[in-house]
Chain A
């Protein structure tokens, strides 16, 4: 089944403790992206990747890192999480990155930073 898989689904952590949220897609998509969803703010793009070893900042990249060493994986790294990074995170992928290919989303990771 074609899908985007994120892990974990729920994560509670403390300020400053490094964490990684994994994302994997099995559709051989070139483009992958991370979004955060906050009430009243919609989905805001954190980072995106047009292909392996090619990443770029979205609208809210501060406090996050990403890497794209393989086509299928696009982990999101929070080196020193803070409470304002408490949010619902979505990974997404699409065939191409030119904004006109449908995005396939994972089921989300709800992160709480205390």
Chain B
């Protein structure tokens, strides 16, 4: 089955700096890669996603890049703010017989210091 590895497990930055979180996946059939943000005491919320026919997607201060050949994708947050502090999860959806399964990475705790 699909295996998703996420790094780093913790990331500490100063307000205004950029933050990058990286994920690798194992199943070359995976075609959908969402990122979720989990704030304290809440469930994860989708912040951005990318499909396998696209190499990069941007939404204001957040961008995601995908390298299908290397089987890795990354989340980039620019001009970080204290409210970006949260746990971030990447995920990958495998096609074929794994329809319905979304495999998550281990999570990254991002702390933005004012």
A contact set with B: CB distance below 8 Å: 4, 31, 33, 35, 40-45, 48, 50, 56, 58-59, 90, 92, 97-100, 102-103, 105-108
Contact = CB atoms under 8 A, between A and B. Distances in A.
B106 interface: yes
B100 A50 contact: yes
Given A92-B43, A106-B43, A42 B89 contact: yes
21 contacts: A33-B100, A43-B44, A43-B89, A45-B101, A45-B102, A48-B101, A59-B1, A59-B103, A90-B43, A97-B100, A98-B99, A99-B93, A99-B102, A100-B31, A100-B32, A102-B46, A102-B49, A103-B34, A106-B43, A108-B41, A108-B42
B78 interface: no
B51 interface: yes
Contacts of B77: none
Interface of B: 1, 4, 6, 9, 31-32, 34, 36, 41-46, 49, 51, 89, 93-95, 98-107
Contacts, number: 73
Interface centre among B6, B36, B104 (most CB of A within 10 A): B104
A103 B46 contact: yes
Nearest to A97: B100
Given A99-B93, A99-B102, A107 B6 contact: no
